[in-house]
Structure 1
Amino acid sequence: MEFQDILYEKYNNRAKITINRPNNMNMFTNHTLSEMITAFQSAWTDKEVGAVILTAAGSRAFTIGGTPGETDAEAQPIEKLPMPSLFAQLLHIIRTIPKPVIAAVNGYAIGGGHVIQVVCDLTIAASTAKFGQVGPKVGSFDAGYGSAYLSRIVGEKKAREFWYLCRKYTAEECLQMGLVNAVVPPEELMAETDKWVDTIVKSSPTSLAALKMSFNADSASVWGIQSMAGVALGMYFNTDEAKECSRAFSEKRDPDIAQYR
């Protein structure tokens, strides 16, 4: 299976999907998301695959989200896509594939990249990894899994802090709040992830699938919220308010937002 933006490999009863755009902090485009969805679909139907590892190339970033600065005319930024967008479809397939998905976070997981790791079943993080949101600073938001489901994991107060203050959190801080499952030195990240997966792929696949669906049941309604929020987000991007926030972020200044309160 040939891809341009990702690497896909299978070994020892697992599939490994690697976002392979390290020169761009592994930011994803329309094309990247499409390839990731195809890879997950392949893993879904492959009886040799018992779990999926999701990671990224290089050591700087897992992914920092969509690419509003992308110069490739054919690689449209995720923000321009109609809903349900490819990004929403990717989140949905990670949630619904009847096999555990383990994120191996090797650097910055910011914005949409943070949301991706949030919806994975488990997260192993390098000690150098950083997590956070930037949406309100750049004229964007994720009112679905990135907020509603995040609050199920870390609690509402902490989830609101993520979005209202747009701070960055260390891997150790995220371990303490239950957002990641383990923190290891960067050079041990993949070895530790494989150890976890070694245990998972020896378990009953039917049991794992049933358990995953059971865990998902309580927050299944978030998919509807994600879809509705996506429509609102699409309209919001065309407002003067969103455009001012985006320009201000690019120009490294405070936005002129008083008129929008």
Structure 2
Amino acid sequence: MELQDVIYKKEDGVATITINRPEVYNAFRSLTVKELIWSFRDAWDDNQIGAVILTGVGEKAFCTGGDQSKKGDDSGYDGSGGLGGGIGMEIEALHHTIRNIPKPVIAAVNGYAIGGGHVLHVICDLTIAAETAIFGQTGPKVGSYDAGFGSAYLARVVGEKKAREIWYLCEKYSAEEAKEMGLVNKIVPASELMAAAEDWARKIAEKSPTAIKMLKYSFNADSANISGITQMAMGSLAMFYNTEESAEGRDAFLEKRPVDFKKFRG
């Protein structure tokens, strides 16, 4: 597959998948998601690959979620409603692929991990963050949400109270704050981020592939029920994207003005 939005390489038993849309802080569109899924599935099928690294191009952003400029009024992202529960991109399939690939996935967070990008790092098995990394949610500010893995699994990681704070307030957290709440495994200087991720990935790739696979399946088993919740969440999100309330969040973001949800409290 010829990739446009993603850089994909394999070396020494490690696959590195890099979102390549720095002009929009590595926000993803439908094509980006398709290419991410293809890359993860290629790494899945390659028996020589023992671990995967997910990161973003540049120093500013890991991923900032869905590209709001590609979100339509009534047909989801890229005007292709019907995929991924009707939101115009196969984000649910991407989440399941990252969770189910029988190889650990390490998020190397090099900047902003915001919104849907925050969800991606949460779903990864491990997270190594640059000292400059910033974490947080924006969904309720832009007329969106992830009521599946993005919230339910987040609560497993940081606890109910903290997960609710992250989603309800939509504030930003430093790498150190993220580590304190259990969102991050390790913090390193930005210049050492990829070296640290590659070191961990190679250490994993040296281990028994069957043992690692079964351990990942075991860790996933306790939260496997979230898959059903995700299906309902994506279905409801597709309907929500058809509303004026959701459009207000998107439009305010694109027009760089304060959002006004007060008119929808009636």
Specify if TM > 0.5. yes
- The whole-number CA distance in structure 2 between the counterparts of 1:133 and 1:48 is 36
The answer to whether the 8 Å contact 1:109/1:130 transfers is yes
The answer to whether the 8 Å contact 1:54/1:102 transfers is yes
- How many angstroms does 1:245 deviate by? 3.0
2:60 equivalent to 1:56:
no
Q: 1:36 — aligned with what?
A: 36
- The whole-number CA distance in structure 2 between the counterparts of 1:29 and 1:135 is 16
Regions of 4+ moved over 4 Å: none
- How many angstroms does 1:178 deviate by? 0.5
Q: 1:113 — aligned with what?
A: 117
- The whole-number CA distance in structure 1 between the counterparts of 2:78 and 2:184 is 26
TM-score norm. by structure 2 comes to 0.92
SS at match of 2:245: helix
Paired AA for residue 31 in structure 2: H
Q: 1:173 — aligned with what?
A: 177
2:147 equivalent to 1:143:
yes
Structure 1 stretch displaced more, 243-252 or 214-223: 243-252
- How many angstroms does 1:77 deviate by? 2.5
2:196 equivalent to 1:211:
no
Percent identity over the alignment is 54
2:14 equivalent to 1:14:
yes
The answer to whether the 8 Å contact 1:52/1:100 transfers is yes
With over 3 angstroms needed to count, the CA separation of the structure-2 counterparts of 1:224 and 1:79, relative to structure 1, is farther
The answer to whether the 8 Å contact 2:69/2:254 transfers is no
- The whole-number CA distance in structure 1 between the counterparts of 2:208 and 2:117 is 30
CA-to-partner distance for each residue in 1:121-144, whole Å, 9 max, x for gaps? 000000100011111111111000
2:212 equivalent to 1:199:
no
The answer to whether the 8 Å contact 1:66/1:79 transfers is no
Any unmatched runs of 5+ in structure 1?
none
- The whole-number CA distance in structure 2 between the counterparts of 1:65 and 1:124 is 19
The answer to whether the 8 Å contact 1:241/1:257 transfers is no
- The whole-number CA distance in structure 1 between the counterparts of 2:202 and 2:11 is 11
- How many angstroms does 1:23 deviate by? 1.6
Aligned 1:87-166 pairs, distance under 5 A? 87-166=91-170
SS at match of 2:195: helix
- How many angstroms does 1:248 deviate by? 3.3
Q: 2:228 — aligned with what?
A: 224
Paired AA for residue 66 in structure 2: G
The answer to whether the 8 Å contact 1:111/1:132 transfers is yes
2:67 equivalent to 1:67:
yes
- How many angstroms does 1:80 deviate by? 5.9
